Amino acid sequence: MERIDYRKQIGDKQRKEMYLESFLEYLTIERNYSQDTVGSYQEDLEEFLGFCLSYHYSYQTLDYPKAQKYLLYLYEEEKEKATTIARKISSIRSFYRYLAKKNICENPSFSLLTLPKKEKRLPKFFEYSELQEMFTVPEEDTPLGQRDGLILEMLYATGLRVSELVHIKIEDISFSEKTIRILGKGNKMRIVYFNAITLRKLKTYLEDGRKKMDEKKSPYLFLNRNGGPITTRRVQQILEEIISKTSITKHISPHMIRHSFATHLLNEGCDLLSVQQLLGHESLTATSVYTHITNDRIKEVYLKTHPRARK
């Protein structure tokens, strides 16, 4: 069967009539979600609302059998993975919760659906030796090299999301305490810490490279070559450029450095609750995924050190 892109069914008029624009604005302003996250919600909801338009369903009064039909469409026609289906249904549920909150409509159909079990995917991370190799790549005698080296260093030192990193302002940093005030998901404030190595690179960048780049007197810490705030996409490209100059063959994502931060802390004995707070997770459930990795490390240590296990 030919694939139908239901997102094309949604026009500007429908976006307003279906409260999609106001929902996305709510996610951006009140929930403080990143542009990437809001974009993901938009794609998921445009596909669903386009599906409703195509079949002449009212999304406000959509009943359970029709919700099941959409789930079946994702399964059988789109051949989506369980994780993708779960994300799309979660986006729809969030949309309906918003509509109920605004007294527009209440529709529990998608809350009643049984979702596929997600495949357990362990987070990928870098070994410390691989990170050390990456740290040697940026040139410390150029403005862009100083910036790129600090980006890499700060991601690993703090475990920040890239969306949080690019929004750091100089006024958020305490140099004496070596802390940064971060406004994370859901407008939640937290404090993250950095080390003496990060502090040295930070001071070098501020006193040299950033001064040369700051043509627009920006309040943001990380600037692009034109003096404006750097984007999350540019950070991704910078990391890809760094790893291309190493012997590492892994596919890199900024989140891998965040995963490395959490995994290395746990391997060195940090407790799970502290890692949860440093990462800015709302619950231990999200943080506990790292225990699967550290459990492998514990098993390795046990097999190497227990007298009976060695035999």
Q: What is the CATH number of domain 6-111?
A: 1.10.150
Instruction: Residue 298: count other Cβ atoms within 10 Å of its Cβ.
Output: 13
Which amino acid is located at 94 in the chain? Answer: S
Q: Show which residues are catalytic.
A: 161, 185, 255, 258, 281, 290
Q: What is the dihedral of CA 117, 82, 38, 169, to 10 degrees?
A: 70
pLDDT, average across residues 276-301: 73
Residue 210 CA to residue 99 CA, distance in Å, equals 45
| pTM for this entry | 0.62
97-121 residue pLDDT tens: 999 999 999 999 998 888 766 655 6
CATH 1.10.150 intervals, the chain: 6-111
Q: Is the pLDDT of residue 1 over 50?
A: no
Which amino acid is located at 249 in the chain? Answer: T
C-beta of residue 158 within 8 angstroms of C-beta of residue 257: no
CATH 1.10.443.10 intervals, the chain: 128-303
Residue 35 CA to residue 47 CA, distance in Å, equals 18
Q: What is the CATH number of domain 128-303?
A: 1.10.443.10
Give the least confident one: 51-60, 118-127, 201-210, 230-239.
Answer: 118-127
C-beta of residue 258 within 8 angstroms of C-beta of residue 168: no
What contacts 250, CB < 8 A, 6 or more positions away? 124, 126, 130, 243, 256
- Burial class from Cβ neighbours inside 10 Å (0-12, 13-18, 19+) for residue 215 reads exposed
Quote the pLDDT of residue 91: 94
Which amino acid is located at 235 in the chain? Answer: V
Compute the mean pLDDT over every residue in the chain, rounded to the nearest whole number.
87
pLDDT band at residue 122 using 50, 70 and 90 as cut-offs: low
Tokens of 6: 């239901």
